[in-house]
């Protein structure tokens, strides 16, 4: 059994939080939870948006498992998916969504990206490649 560094465990937990945030987006696009614009809220249905965010939930859950097992390819895939998630949030901002509605995802994805770039975390995945 591979030894899992604390940094990798933190990344797995952050990936789980990102999966929960993406799941909340799915519920918003399926009109089960409202979108909030300051004091106003409304329901909207978008099947394409729900499908995109459901795929992100599935990917983050897979990443959480891969990070937990310290698979070497999980680090690079997490970086790519986090950047893709930030692009999705940016596209939502262009579509008229408010920054307050998207802020939890921006913060969690920013923390994941910064934490992935720390030398100790990168070294943990490089070391697991040779075990």
User: Tens digits of per-residue pLDDT, 11-38?
Assistant: 999 999 999 998 988 988 888 877 665 5
Confidence check: pLDDT of 126 > 90: no
- Number of helical (H) and strand (E) elements in the chain, helices listed first: 5, 2
Q: Is the pLDDT assigned to residue 68 strictly greater than 70?
A: yes
76-93 pLDDT tens trace: 899 999 998 888 888 877
Q: List residues bridging with 35 in a β-sheet.
A: 42
Q: Is the pLDDT of residue 2 over 60?
A: no
Instruction: Tell me the angle at which helices 99-116 and 6-29 cross, rounded to the nearest 10 degrees.
Output: 160
C-alpha 25: how far from chain center = 11
pLDDT at 25: 86
């Amino acid at each position: 059994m591979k030894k899992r560094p604390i940094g990798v465990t933190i990344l797995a937990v952050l990936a789980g939080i990102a999966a929960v945030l993406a799941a909340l987006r799915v519920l918003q696009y399926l009109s089960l939870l409202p979108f909030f614009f300051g004091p106003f809220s409304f329901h909207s249905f978008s099947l394409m948006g729900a499908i995109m965010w459901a795929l992100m939930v599935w990917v983050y859950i897979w990443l959480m498992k891969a990070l937990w097992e310290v698979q070497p390819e999980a680090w690079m895939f997490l970086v790519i998916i986090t950047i893709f998630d930030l692009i999705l949030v940016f596209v939502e901002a262009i579509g008229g969504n408010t920054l307050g509605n998207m802020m939890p995802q921006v913060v969690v994805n920013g923390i994941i990206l910064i934490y992935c770039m720390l030398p100790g975390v990168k070294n943990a995945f490089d070391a697991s490649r040779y075990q």
